[in-house]
Amino acid sequence: MSIESRREFLRKTMIGAGAVSLASLAGSGCGGDPPAEARRPLVVSTWRHGLAANEAAWELLEAGGRALDAVEAGVRVSEADPEVRSVGLGGAPDGEGHVTLDACIMDQRGECGAVAFLEHILHPISVARMVMEKTPHVMLVGSGALDFALANGFEKTNLLTAEAEAKWRQWLLATSGREKTGAANHDTIGMLAIDEQGDLSGACTTSGLAYKLRGRVGDSPIIGAGLYVDNAVGAACATGRGELVMKTLGTFLIVELMRHGASPDEACRRAIGRIDERGWNDGDAQVGYLAIDKSGRVGASSLRPGFQYAVRDGSGDNLLDAQPA
């Protein structure tokens, strides 16, 4: 970056950070200037189903547990809930009727694990953690990921509920299976936490785009796209149309913007802006970003109205509306 560009970058960052500071203080109360003392423990997650997930994570955090354990326990709640139609059990299948799952996890050391195109396993997030902790690799996919899970004590589960199957059959009848990109159903859960020690971790898990092409993998298991954590700076997670997040490496971008001084809110808005700048906002897609920084400030933004996120700390829980960029 030239000196001129760097000056311009810093100028925009400062202007944005100031604007966001006021907006956030007036709105959610979660952004704003850095608090004098770090806000912790803290857990945040995407969408309304994040409330229940946060509660499970909070139990661990409140008892002094690690952020890594908290985010795993938290998103397992959504994975096991058949009412959550875009994660784990009850998730919408691909166009051929198979539920295929993507997940990743990242800890305070920058270690990470991921699974993609994984079938028949109720808790892909725990398989992702095992990839991180038991292998020298970051990601396992498909039948290899399934074999690894089964060899490590996970059991096969039928993830296609009767309700999800009925909806898929309706979709088949309505489209003759031709509409391969699927409906706008991708309410992925992403979760970020800071524990009492001040360490950050994150998790992200999804069944992906409803009725997707078989073999399609979205942003959720991709480190730097669906999730990124840097313990010195902050963390970010994504939900929505994965292709747009992957093409802009959205969560890596957000953490890098925070590293250079942007508040979490501003960083999320600028990552959303990047999708617009590249001409990839087709007016139909949704992308939502959620971020925290090391001091416990929270920020979020989305392409369109409607993205909500859940926040849990010592003062209670909240479901907040993200502001479109």
Amino acid at 36: A
Would you call 239 a catalytic residue per the annotation?
Answer: no
CA distances from 88 to 237, 282, 307 (A): 18, 28, 20
Binding residue for ligand GLY (CB under 6 A) from 13, 46, 239, 302? 239
Residue number with CB closer to ligand GLY (17 or 300) = 300
Site string for ligand GLY, 167-206 (x = CB under 6 A): -------------------x-x-----------------x
Examine residue 208 and tell whether it contacts ligand GLY (CB under 6 A): yes
**Nearest approach, Cβ of residue 302 and ligand GLY (Å):** 12
- Chain centre to alpha carbon of residue 272: 14
Amino acid at 136: P
How many degrees, rounded to 5, is the angle at CA 16 between CA 10 and CA 22? 140
Question: Tokens 């939900």 correspond to what residue?
Answer: 239
**Nearest approach, Cβ of residue 130 and ligand GLY (Å):** 21
| C-beta neighbour count of 281 within 10 angstroms | 19
Examine residue 93 and tell whether it contacts ligand GLY (CB under 6 A): no
**Nearest approach, Cβ of residue 221 and ligand GLY (Å):** 9
Residue number with CB closer to ligand GLY (41 or 250) = 250
**Nearest approach, Cβ of residue 217 and ligand GLY (Å):** 7
Instruction: Give the neighbor-by-neighbor strand order of the sheet with 200-206.
Output: 139-141, 112-118, 101-106, 200-206, 189-194, 42-46, 308-313, 316-321
Residue number with CB closer to ligand GLY (60 or 71) = 71
Burial 45-59, CB ≥16 within 10 A → b, else e: bbbebbbbbbebbbe
Answer positive or negative: Cα dihedral of 261, 263, 266, 271. Answer: positive
Near ligand GLY in 209-238, by CB under 6 A = 209, 218-220
Residue number with CB closer to ligand GLY (17 or 254) = 254
Examine residue 240 and tell whether it contacts ligand GLY (CB under 6 A): yes
**Nearest approach, Cβ of residue 2 and ligand GLY (Å):** 35
- Chain centre to alpha carbon of residue 135: 23
Catalytic residue numbers, as ranges: 188
By CB under 6 A, name the binding residues for ligand GLY: 186, 188, 206, 208-209, 218-220, 239-242
